[in-house]
């Protein structure tokens, strides 16, 4: 992991920086590289275009850490609208991904579960998968509890697990039978007692978790752009062809399109995570922190705009 990740995420949380970045045309332009648009219509256009190129998709309405039950309800309403929109387009393989804190997890688990339930009912009728994103480590217990309850009532609900968390090595043994798990490295700033800090350790944990999840009978969405991990997964599948039906590749919109195309052309299922909405700032900062070159591009675009006469 980049040593600049911590400082970048801390600076990004500064209120002044956030205000400048979100209001400036340069900030919005950089966000457009990673975000499909601000409206559902714009996102659906991207979803249809990707479908035409042979990719399935997973739609995510940006937004997190809501402060009132009304905001949680509004987010769930927006998700049910997006599910109806997906359903109206026959043959489109598009799932949805929700953030627990966007559905009110920080207010109460019961609220989050109730809002998630509304989304799952709508999705079940439409035969659409819903995946639960994983956020900062303090919410993992509550998120997994919500997932277990939801999974007891619905087939098509999956959850994300983060390879950098030390606890994930045991969490994988406590999942409901035949779960669908999106395996990621992890995008939040976590202390060493909670999360592995060295890239090599995270990559090793990722590979171990991938094999363990499959051995335990779960399905794995391999959500990474790391060419070495992707090669390892392809080699594994070549020698374990029976596991192929339980593995899908997932990548983020706008990142490593070369790898997305290569895997799809080799016949692997590739799903692109398509975020949309007006609340793109926290998502963008995580993408900037993953790759300092992105930050450099972002800061220089802002600086050009802020320069007198610029």
* 26 vs 95 by CB, closer to ligand FAD: 95
188 by DSSP, 3-state: which? coil
Per DSSP, the three-state class of 94 is strand
Give the shortest CB-254-to-ligand FAD separation in angstroms.
8
Q: Any alpha helices (H) in the chain, and if so which ranges?
A: 5-12, 15-23, 25-34, 40-52, 69-87, 109-126, 140-153, 168-171, 199-215, 227-239, 257-265, 281-290, 292-306
User: Which among 74-82, 169-177, 219-227, 295-303 is the span making contact with ligand FAD, rule CB under 6 A?
Assistant: 219-227
Q: Does 106 engage in binding with ligand FAD (CB under 6 A)?
A: no
Residues with Cβ within 8 Å of residue 170, at least 6 apart in sequence: none
Binding-site member from 250, 276, 283, 284 for ligand FAD (CB under 6 A): 250
Write down the least CB distance from residue 79 to ligand FAD, Å.
16
Give which of 199, 116, 206, 209 is closest to 170, Cα–Cα.
209
Stretch that binds ligand FAD, among 150-158, 234-242, 287-295, 301-309 (CB under 6 A): 287-295
List 251, 263, 274, 284, residue binding ligand FAD (CB under 6 A)? 251
Q: State yes or no: is 182 an active-site residue.
A: yes
Residue 62 within binding range of ligand FAD, rule CB under 6 A: no
**Which of 5, 106, 133, 221 is labelled catalytic?**
133
Strand duo 247-252 + 270-276: pairing? parallel
Span interacting with ligand FAD, options 38-46, 84-92, 207-215, 224-232, rule CB under 6 A: 224-232
Instruction: Identify which of residues 11 and 69 has a Cβ nearer to ligand FAD in the complex.
Output: 11
256 is catalytic: no
Closest approach, Cβ 309 to ligand FAD, in A, equals 31
Pairing outcome for strands 56-61 and 270-276: parallel
CA distances to 50, 196, 219, 222 from 227, rounded to whole Å, are 21, 20, 21, 12
Q: Is 256 in the site for ligand FAD (CB under 6 A)?
A: yes
Is residue 290 a contact residue for ligand FAD (CB under 6 A)?
yes
* 187 binding ligand FAD? (CB under 6 A): yes
Of the ranges 62-70, 79-87, 209-217, 218-226, which one interacts with ligand FAD (CB under 6 A)? 218-226
* Residue 133 found at the interface with ligand FAD (CB under 6 A): yes
| Contact status: 101 vs ligand FAD (CB under 6 A) | no
- Integer Cα distance of 32 and 217 in angstroms: 38
Residue 85: name the closest of 141, 35, 28, 45 by CA: 45
For the purposes of burial, counting CB atoms within 10 Å of the CB of 26, is it exposed (0-12), middle (13-18) or buried (19 or more)? Answer: buried
Q: Which of 279, 274, 250 is nearest to 60 (CA)?
A: 274
* Active-site residue identified among 5, 142, 180, 182: 182
Residue 71 backbone dihedrals phi, psi, to 5 degrees? -70, -35
Residue 164: CB minimum distance to ligand FAD, A: 8
Would you name the residues annotated as active-site residues? 133, 182
Residues that bind ligand FAD (CB under 6 A): 133-134, 160, 162, 182, 184-188, 223-226, 250-252, 255-256, 273, 287, 290-291, 294
């Amino acid at each position: 992991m980049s040593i600049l990740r911590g400082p970048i995420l801390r600076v990004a949380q500064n209120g002044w920086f956030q205000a400048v970045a979100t209001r400036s045309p340069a900030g919005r332009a950089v966000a457009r590289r990673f975000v499909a648009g601000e409206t559902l219509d714009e996102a659906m256009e991207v979803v249809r275009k990707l479908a035409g190129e042979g990719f399935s998709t997973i739609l995510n309405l940006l937004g997190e850490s809501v402060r009132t039950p009304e905001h949680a309800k509004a987010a769930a309403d927006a998700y049910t609208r997006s599910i109806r929109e997906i359903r109206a387009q026959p043959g489109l393989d598009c799932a949805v991904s929700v953030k627990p804190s966007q559905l009110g997890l920080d207010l109460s688990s019961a609220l989050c579960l109730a809002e998630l339930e509304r989304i799952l009912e709508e999705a079940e009728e439409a035969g659409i998968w819903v995946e639960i994103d994983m956020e900062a480590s303090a919410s993992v217990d509550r998120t997994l509890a919500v997932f277990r309850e939801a999974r007891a009532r619905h087939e098509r609900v999956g959850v994300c697990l983060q390879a950098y968390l030390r606890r994930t090595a045991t969490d994988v043994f406590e999942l409901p039978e035949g779960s669908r798990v999106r395996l990621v490295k992890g995008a939040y700033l976590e202390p060493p007692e909670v999360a592995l800090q060295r890239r090599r350790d995270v990559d090793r944990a990722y590979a171990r978790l991938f094999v363990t999840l499959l051995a335990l009978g779960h399905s794995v969405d391999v959500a990474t752009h790391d060419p070495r991990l992707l090669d390892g997964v392809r080699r594994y599948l070549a020698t374990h062809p029976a596991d192929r039906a339980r593995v899908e590749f997932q990548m983020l919109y706008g990142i490593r399109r070369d790898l997305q195309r290569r895997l799809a052309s080799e016949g692997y299922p590739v799903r692109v995570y398509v975020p949309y909405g007006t609340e793109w700032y926290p998502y963008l900062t995580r993408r900037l922190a993953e790759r300092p070159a992105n930050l450099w591009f972002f800061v220089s675009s802002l600086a050009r705009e802020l320069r007198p006469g610029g």
